[in-house]
Amino acid sequence: MWEQMRLRSQRRDRWVSWAVVGLVVVALLLGWLVKVAAEGRTIAYKAEGLSLRYPSGWVRANVEAPTLLRVEDRTATPFRTTLMLQRLPMPQGNRPVAAVQQGLALERGRTWIAYRVLSVEEPATVEGRTGMRVTFAYVEPNHNPFLETVPVVMEGEDFLLPAGDQVYVATVTAAEENFARALRHLRTLVQSLPR
């Protein structure tokens, strides 16, 4: 009799254990779905006739022409991730997009510490659009005089997309460890540009 009661309780314990395992698996799946949904949310923004999309939770900065949009993820560590869109005039010449890229490189080389172009790919296809892809790196110091930190190596990527007599320059900059995730946001911005 005692043996039968012990067998019944072991069977019941096994069912309870499997129920707990099942509940944990369901909770993990629901948590993952919520995370994916929250990370994929974007905000629509209209600027000079364009309807652009950028990640929800990022802070939009005030901009002046030729910059149409500049948003920052201020929660990113060790330094903020920035997403920017500019509309520049197309210069005359036989390689106008390359001329725009060289102008950007010269300007950044004067203002950004240790700016270096790592690669230039032309033609490059980005989200079904043909243009130029430029990857670069620079060093971002922390300007807080009360905080002693090592400067941060930043990576960036430009997509230069010609559109008639103008060139759209979509740029992302992020700390080295955040760069792969930031590229996804750059692609979302490029997708929202008119064809």
pLDDT digit string, tens, across residues 23-47: 888 888 887 777 666 666 777 778 7
The two counts, helices (H) then strands (E), for the chain are 3, 9
The whole-model pTM stands at 0.76
Residue 150 pLDDT exceeds 90: no
Band (pLDDT 50/70/90 cuts) for residue 138 is very high
Q: How many CB atoms lie within 10 A of CB 138?
A: 19
Peptide bond into 96 cis (omega under 30): no
Strands 81-89, 152-163: parallel, antiparallel or unpaired by DSSP?
A: unpaired
How do the domains of the chain map onto residue ranges? Answer: 1-39, 42-191
Pick the CATH number of 42-191 from 3.40.1000.10, 3.30.930.10, 3.40.30.10, 3.40.630.30: 3.40.1000.10
Helix (H, G, I), strand (E, B) or coil at 195: coil
Under 8 Å between Cβ of 65 and 99: no
pLDDT for residue 121: 93
Distance CA 7, CA 4 (A): 5
How many residues does this entry show for the chain?
A: 195
